[in-house]
């Protein structure tokens, strides 16, 4: 079993829909990261959180340390949000999930 599990693996949505991507992990962590990877490979850090909730524009990330679960929400999705979203946890080094491929259609 992977230490970091993401769901769903693939997600398609119509522009404007509310998106939720889930991440569950099995190890003790000091922080959890949500990353965005566009075609071509470049990875951008979206959030780093260790408790509660963070918001940046249309993106919201939450974490429940007791349940070892985090969610990434995208409100009013747009085709430019199409990317792979990766959850990564930090016990002593980054351990990555396999990613959720999101496609938003106009």
Determine the 3-state secondary structure of 89 from DSSP: strand
What contacts 83, CB < 8 A, 6 or more positions away?
36, 37, 38, 39, 102
Q: State the binding string over 7-36 for another protein (x if CB under 8 A, else -).
A: -----------------------xx-x-x-
Q: Write down the least CB distance from residue 2 to another protein, Å.
A: 9
Which range of residues in 18-26, 65-73, 75-83, 86-94 is near another protein by CB under 8 A?
86-94
Residue 42 interacting with another protein (CB under 8 A): yes
Residues 6+ apart with CB under 8 A from 42: none
Please report, for residues 69, 92, 97, 106, the alpha-carbon distance to residue 7 in angstroms, rounded to integers and kept in the order given: 11, 24, 10, 23
Q: Is 1 in the site for another protein (CB under 8 A)?
A: no
CB of 98 to another protein, least distance (A): 5
- Which residue is listed with tokens 């747009």? 78
Interaction between residue 88 and another protein (CB under 8 A)? yes
Work out the angle at residue 48's Cα, subtended by the Cα atoms of residues 43 and 50, and round it to the nearest 5 degrees.
Answer: 150
Q: Which of 4, 13, 61, 63 binds another protein (CB under 8 A)?
A: 4
Residues forming contacts to another protein in the complex (CB under 8 A) are 4, 30-31, 33, 35, 40-45, 48, 86, 88, 90, 93-99
């Amino acid at each position: 079993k992977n230490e970091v599990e993401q769901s769903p693996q693939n997600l398609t949505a119509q522009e404007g829909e509310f998106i939720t991507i889930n991440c569950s992990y099995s190890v003790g962590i000091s922080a959890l990261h949500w990353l965005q990877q566009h075609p071509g490979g470049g990875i951008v850090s979206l959030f780093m959180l260790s408790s509660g909730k963070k918001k940046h524009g249309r993106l919201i990330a939450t974490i429940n340390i007791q349940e070892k679960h985090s969610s990434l929400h995208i409100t009013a999705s747009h085709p430019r949000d199409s990317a792979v979203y990766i959850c990564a946890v930090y016990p002593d080094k980054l351990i990555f999930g396999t990613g959720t491929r999101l496609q938003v259609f106009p």
